[in-house]
Amino acid sequence: MKEKNKRKEIIVIGVLILLMIVIIVGTSYAAFRYGGIGEVENSITSGAITMSYEETDNTISLTGALPTTDKTGTVRLTPGEYFDFNISSTITGSTNINYEISAKKEDGNTISGDYIKLYLTKINSDGSEEALMVPETYSEETSANNYTGRPSNEMSLYTSSMNSSEDNDYRLRMYVDESYNPQGDGGGLTFTVKINVYGKAGDKYVPETTEKVLADNELQEEKEEMFNYASNGGYLDMSSGPQNNPEYVTNGLYSAEDEDGTSYYFRGNVNNNYVQFGEYESDYYVYGNGYQSLESCENAYPENVGNCTQVKLASAGDKMYWRIVRVNGDGSLRLIYNGTSATPNNSDLAHSYVIGRTPYNLERNNPKYAGYTYDNGVNSFIKKEVDTWYKNALGNTVYDSKVVGGRFCSDSSGYKPASEYGFSGMDGMNVFASFDRLGQSATGYQKENSPSLKCPSTTESYGGSYRLKAGLITADELVFAGENPGVETDSYLNPGSSNMWYWSMSPANFFDGGSAYVWYEHSSINNGRVDNNYAVRPVINVTTDNGFTSGDGTASNPYIIS
């Protein structure tokens, strides 16, 4: 790693200047953009990178724009409320370019960056947008990125690499966060940022944490039809029930492709994927059966009112423990919560690997309630619970800077009658594509189970692909980890005899005129009605340039991310 850092000199790909000024007069806002020279081309050993953008006027105005929510700020398309630019490359040979898009505030700002949010997307060929980050308030990195050439004291928006000719369009939005109260500010406040793009020729960036995980685990070879079997060799014979095939016992580290490259996932009864990251800074309480707030407890069901007593989930200073689900294709670590102990006993919430027990959604009589969001952005009940926990437990701590806006998938694609997928005896049941990928036990494995780490596109107004600080595991990831519908297993994600059954974020099916179902995990994978109370087990994505500070990944000596 150190040799890689020394081999190449920094090559600045280009600088895009976006001066976005937020003028505050009373309760009214206006933003302006100034564009400098819009195209810079640099010759590299075997290629060139070009940055360009269309410039029609030196200023683009927002008029009457008030502080806004993320839901509104991230989708605005009024002229002047977004900024489009292009990054393209002409690369031959084996050159790889690591590049990074960043923001740097200018001097003279009179409103704090704590109230200014930036949001970057990639524009696909069909005009749709792919989120590259979660909306973030302006916050600068204290250290430089030696792989891309980004200096310290700039806000990193997105990091990636190119090793072949590409042409990518990006869209940046900047808006005033809803938390800002303009009353009494005196007016005339401004905030200005410069958007920079840096690049460096060299080997693709691989975090030291990823290198450590790969060094500590021999990569296993995938077996034919492996996913028809649980990791303990268990499978479901439709004629004689659960069976076992020792040939298909699969434990260890395997690989599969996700949207960002090669992902390395843990499967089976592994015992070296423990991580300690974060801690509770104060006593943490949940309410009733495990709701994150008194309000959510009382709003869930009428009978909860008056019965939402506090239950301590954690004490101040308690460490947070996690299990590594996989190394993502971008090199970050995907972690699932394991409680305040590496070895929770699941006797109650405070000693378990979950943060509460709630419905997925309070309504069930429409397939949209199987989505992690629905009606084009309304949060499900469980998403509100996960978001509340993250904000209270990690979001306001120093650990938040290590949690990246990772990919999450609530796959609502392929919704149609089960018969159209070849499932018989399921009249009146409509299923999602995940049911066809993962539910082949219902057909006696006439087709193979085929989990995917890529999120299919959907035309539904619910579910979809997200960039989030915290979410839930997918049913596909459960199958990759060694779980299987209808078959008991012993994978590291299996709660066993515990009643801490927990939700995934993957829609499963809907019965005509009846109820929406989502996959959840108990002693195997099953589909549960969305208004049932199951446990909530958050998932986050973490990255660090400094590797693990200690540990070997075992329960007695977990990896530590400081």
Phi, psi (degrees; rounded to nearest 5) at 54: -80, 135
Tens digits of residue pLDDT in 459-472: 999 999 999 999 99
Write a three-state SS string for 404-434.
CCEEEEECCCCCEEHHHHCCCCCCCEEECHH
Alpha helices in 110-228 (DSSP H): 208-216
Indicate if the alpha-carbon torsion angle 236, 239, 240, 243 is positive or negative. negative
Phi, psi (degrees; rounded to nearest 5) at 110: -120, 10
Tens digits of residue pLDDT in 437-455: 998 887 888 889 999 999 9
For residue 365, the Cα-to-chain-centroid distance in whole angstroms is 28
Angle at the Cα of 114 from the Cα atoms of 112 and 120, rounded to 5 degrees: 115
6-20, 179-193, 326-340, 357-371: least confident range: 6-20
Report the pLDDT value the prediction gives residue 96, as an integer from 0 to 100: 80
Q: What is the mean pLDDT of residues 377-383?
A: 96
Distances (CA, A) of 336 to 326, 350, 538: 10, 17, 6
- In the structure, what pLDDT confidence band is assigned to residue 12 with cuts at 50, 70 and 90? very low
Q: Are 559 and 274 in contact (CB under 8 A)?
A: yes
- pLDDT above 90 covers a percentage of the chain that reads 57
Tens digits of residue pLDDT in 470-517: 999 999 999 999 999 888 899 999 987 788 999 999 999 999 888 999
Report the pLDDT value the prediction gives residue 13, as an integer from 0 to 100: 37
Closest CA to 163 of 257, 3, 46: 46
Tens digits of residue pLDDT in 105-143: 888 777 788 888 899 999 998 888 999 999 999 999 888
Report the pLDDT value the prediction gives residue 362, as an integer from 0 to 100: 97
| 2: enclosing H helix or E strand | helix 2-7
Strand, helix or coil at 359? Answer: coil
Tens digits of residue pLDDT in 159-209: 988 877 788 888 888 888 888 887 777 666 777 777 788 877 788 888 889
Q: What is the mean pLDDT of residues 263-277?
A: 97
Distances (CA, A) of 299 to 133, 306, 366, 442: 31, 11, 20, 37
Phi, psi (degrees; rounded to nearest 5) at 363: -100, 150
Report the pLDDT value the prediction gives residue 394, as an integer from 0 to 100: 97
Angle at the Cα of 447 from the Cα atoms of 443 and 452, rounded to 5 degrees: 115
Output the average pLDDT for the chain: 85
The encoded tokens of residue 299 equal 């709003």
Q: What is the mean pLDDT of residues 278-290?
A: 96
Residue 91: pLDDT over 50: yes
| 435: enclosing H helix or E strand | helix 433-438
d(CA 259, CA 454): 6
Residues 6+ apart with CB under 8 A from 46: 91, 92, 93, 94, 95
Angle at the Cα of 66 from the Cα atoms of 65 and 72, rounded to 5 degrees: 85
In a 10 Å sphere around its CB, with 0-12 CB exposed, 13-18 middle and 19+ buried, how is residue 384 labelled?
Answer: middle
DSSP code per residue over 453-519: BS-----SSS-EEEEESSB---HHHHHHTT--BT-----TT--TT-S--EEEEEEEEEETTS-EEEE
Distances (CA, A) of 381 to 107, 288, 362, 371, 538: 42, 16, 7, 10, 14
Distances (CA, A) of 541 to 405, 503, 538: 7, 18, 10
Return the bridge partners of 1, or none. Answer: none
